[in-house]
């Protein structure tokens, strides 16, 4: 144009997909199903999973698996992606969670108003379910009961303080991944 010339250069850069897949698993307890989720940097067309011999739908993209034994499982997935195929192998630990909770029951308390050990209660790493506690006097009469695991006994019955002594109790409870249990024993009240 008007005797001028010019030139331009263009470089074409093609960015290829890395064609990589990965997976997540959100449960690690033997007592719960394990939910696997396949993720990738391109469209997922299909997936073939191997859970170390545990039967599952072989071509499910996001399978749900119920493991039968505690231990480490080798999980293999062959992911068919829009850009190609990726294979992943990962070790997944599966833990028996039924032993992870216990109930601690103290053997004595001192409801003397000093704000130290004034209530008899129980502790656990887990929230007890289907909970019931009953405390009796030496004649077998019920002096305290509760269904709330967070309601400790203050050493009184019918609004009045009870005497020093040993009181039998019965606690029924169920902790996560465990059967219902019944514990009996005695608690000593010291004022």
User: With 0-12 CB in 10 A as exposed, 13-18 as middle and 19+ as buried, what is 75?
Assistant: buried
Contact, 170 vs 120, CB < 8 A?
Answer: no
CA 135 to the chain's CA centroid: 31
The pLDDT tens digits of the residues spanning 82-119 come to: 999 999 999 999 988 877 788 899 999 999 999 999 99
CATH of domain 100-189: 2.60.40.1220
- The pTM (predicted TM-score) of the whole model is 0.58
Q: Do domains 21-97 and 100-189 have the same CATH topology?
A: yes
Angle at Cα 74 formed by Cα 72 and Cα 78, nearest 5°?
155
| Distance separating alpha carbons of residues 24 and 39, to the nearest angstrom | 8
The pLDDT tens digits of the residues spanning 19-54 come to: 899 999 987 788 889 999 999 989 999 999 999 877
Quickly tell me which residue has 């709330």 as its tokens.
148
Q: Where are the domains of the chain?
A: 21-97, 100-189
| Distance separating alpha carbons of residues 83 and 189, to the nearest angstrom | 73
Determine if residue 142 is left, alpha or beta; phi over 0 gives left, psi from -120 to 50 gives alpha, anything else beta.
beta
Q: Which of 89, 65, 107, 85 is nearest to 17 (CA)?
A: 85
- Give the CA diameter of the chain: 119
CATH of domain 21-97: 2.60.40.10
Q: What confidence tier does 142 reach under pLDDT thresholds 50, 70, 90?
A: very high
């Amino acid at each position: 144009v008007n005797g001028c010339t010019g030139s331009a250069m263009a470089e074409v850069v093609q960015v290829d997909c890395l064609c990589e897949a990965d997976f997540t698993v959100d449960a690690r307890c033997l007592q719960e199903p394990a939910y696997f989720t396949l993720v990738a940097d391109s469209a997922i067309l299909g997936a073939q999973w191997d859970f170390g011999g545990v039967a599952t739908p072989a071509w499910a993209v996001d399978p749900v698996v119920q493991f039968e034994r505690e231990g480490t499982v080798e999980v293999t997935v062959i992911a068919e992606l829009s850009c190609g195929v990726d294979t992943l192998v990962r070790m997944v630990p599966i833990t028996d969670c039924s032993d992870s909770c216990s109930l601690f029951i103290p053997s004595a308390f001192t409801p003397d108003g000093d704000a130290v050990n004034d209530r008899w209660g129980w502790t656990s790493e887990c929230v007890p379910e289907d909970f019931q506690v009953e405390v009796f006097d030496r004649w077998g009469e019920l002096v305290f009961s509760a269904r709330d695991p967070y309601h400790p006994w203050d050493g009184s019955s019918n609004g009045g303080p009870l005497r020093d002594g040993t009181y039998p109790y019965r606690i029924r409870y169920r902790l996560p991944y465990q059967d219902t249990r019944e514990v009996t024993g005695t608690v000593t009240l010291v004022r």
